[in-house]
Amino acid sequence: MMDQLAFGAVSAGLLLSALLVVSTRNLVHAVLWLAVTLVMTAVLFVTLSAPFVAGIQILLYTGGVITLMLFGVMLTRRQDGTRIEAEVSPGRRGPALLAAAALFGVLAGALSKTPKLGATTSTVTPTEAIGHSFLTDNVLAFELLSVLLLATMIGSIAVARRHDHAAETKPVGGRREPG
Amino acid sequence: MALSPYLLLAAALFSIGVYGVLSRRNAIGVLLSVELMANAVNINLVAFSRAHGTALGQVFALFSIAITVAEVVVGLALVILLYRSRRDVLVDAASDLKG
């Protein structure tokens, strides 16, 4: 009973904040609503007896991604102070709503036709089991992930760094200064 | 508690993300909606992990979280590059490659 109450409260909050993420006009507010969504998801992970994933979710998503997104929003503001109007294009709202509703209908229909989804067990997975799985069965994916992170780091620096002083007005890869 | 409410919630969150990707004009808004979709998938993975009683779903969710963070970093670098060359980040205005 308590389980269902907690699930209902968390899912209502999740749906509300997710709707605000896609409908708020101010992009900074949308990022902050995404932070609310991600924290609520961490709470949901705790109710699913996955506390380690919840902690990682808070650390990486709420700590890292939200900070990055805020930086991105503020770096790409118009310099003359005018707000970017029409963040949501009105002509595209109807088709987008239709596509999303159709997708949800297909998913919910498939879910209702699925014969019997077993009830969830209540055993908490120990963090030790996750670490063991990382270093035995999934060690190749684990090592590949570190290569991916290195490639991401180098790639994003290479893409976003300024190539010369005139890069703001010229296309990227323009004339470099000698030396 | 049964598994299907979690899957239904994840489906709803994923659909909201699809709506955001299709309707936002700002590239960062599109990235935010992609985050919502990835988050919905993680809920599915953790819910299945609990239903099976093994740690494998949680391991997948952790991989997925790490890969999503890498994707956001590259995406934001591209958005900053787009802003630097065009002075705006509207996805429908960046049609220079359109034939």
Interacting residues of A121 by C-beta distance below 8 A, sequence separation 6+? B50, B51, B53
Dump pLDDT digits (tens) for A24-53.
888 899 999 999 999 999 999 998 889 999
CB contact under 8 A, B11 and A152: no
Put residue A49 in one of left, alpha, beta given phi > 0 → left and psi -120 to 50 → alpha: left
Q: Could you say which residues from 20 to 59 on chain B have a Cβ atom under 8 Å away from some Cβ of chain A?
A: 20, 22-26, 28-29, 31-33, 35-36, 39, 42-43, 46-47, 49-51, 53-56, 58-59
Give the confidence band of B34 by pLDDT, cuts at 50, 70, 90. Answer: very high
Q: Which residue has the higher pLDDT, A13 or A159?
A: A13
Do the Cβ atoms of A103 and B22 come closer than 8 Å?
A: no
Q: Could you say which residues from 72 to 131 on chain A have a Cβ atom under 8 Å away from some Cβ of chain B?
A: 72-73, 75-76, 78, 84, 86-89, 92-93, 95-97, 99-101, 103-104, 107-108, 111, 114, 117-121, 123, 125-126, 129-130
Q: Which residue has the higher pLDDT, B95 or A143?
A: A143
Search chain A and give the residue with CA nearest B26. A87
Dump pLDDT digits (tens) for A112-131.
888 776 666 667 778 888 99
Alpha carbon distance B35, B39 (integer Å): 6
pLDDT of res. A82: 47
Interacting residues of A106 by C-beta distance below 8 A, sequence separation 6+? none
The three-state (H, E, C) secondary structure of chain A, written as one string: CHHHHHHHHHHHHHHHHHHHHHHCCCHHHHHHHHHHHHHHHHHHHHHCCCHHHHHHHHHHHHHHHHHHHHHHHHHCCCCCCCCCCCCECHHHHHHHHHHHHHHHHHHHHHHHHCCCCCCCCCCCCCHHHHHHHHHCCCHHHHHHHHHHHHHHHHHHHHHHCCCCCCCCCCCCCCCCCCC
Mean pLDDT of the region A64-70: 91
Residue A177 has pLDDT above 70, yes or no: no
Which of A23, A28, A104, A157 is the best residue to mutate to test the B interface, defined by the most B CB atoms within 10 Å of its own CB? A104
Residue A168 has pLDDT above 60, yes or no: no
The structure tokens listed for A83 are: 């707000």
CB contact under 8 A, B24 and A118: no
Q: Which residue has the tokens 């308590």?
A: A2
pLDDT of res. A171: 53
Q: pLDDT averaged over chain A?
A: 83
Do the Cβ atoms of A56 and B65 come closer than 8 Å?
A: yes
Residues of A in contact with B59 (CB under 8 A): 130, 133-134, 138
Distances (CA, A) of B48 to A139, A141, A149, A169, B21: 22, 20, 27, 51, 26
Alpha carbon distance A172, A7 (integer Å): 50
Give the confidence band of A3 by pLDDT, cuts at 50, 70, 90. Answer: confident
Q: Hey, CA dihedral for B32, B34, B39, B40, is it positive or negative?
A: positive
ipTM of the complex: 0.92
Q: Say which of A27, A104, A145 has its CB closest to residue B11.
A: A104
Residue A81 has pLDDT above 60, yes or no: no
Do the Cβ atoms of A51 and A45 come closer than 8 Å?
A: yes
Q: Which residue has the higher pLDDT, A2 or B26?
A: B26
Dump pLDDT digits (tens) for A100-111.
999 999 999 998
Search chain A and give the residue with CA nearest B57. A130
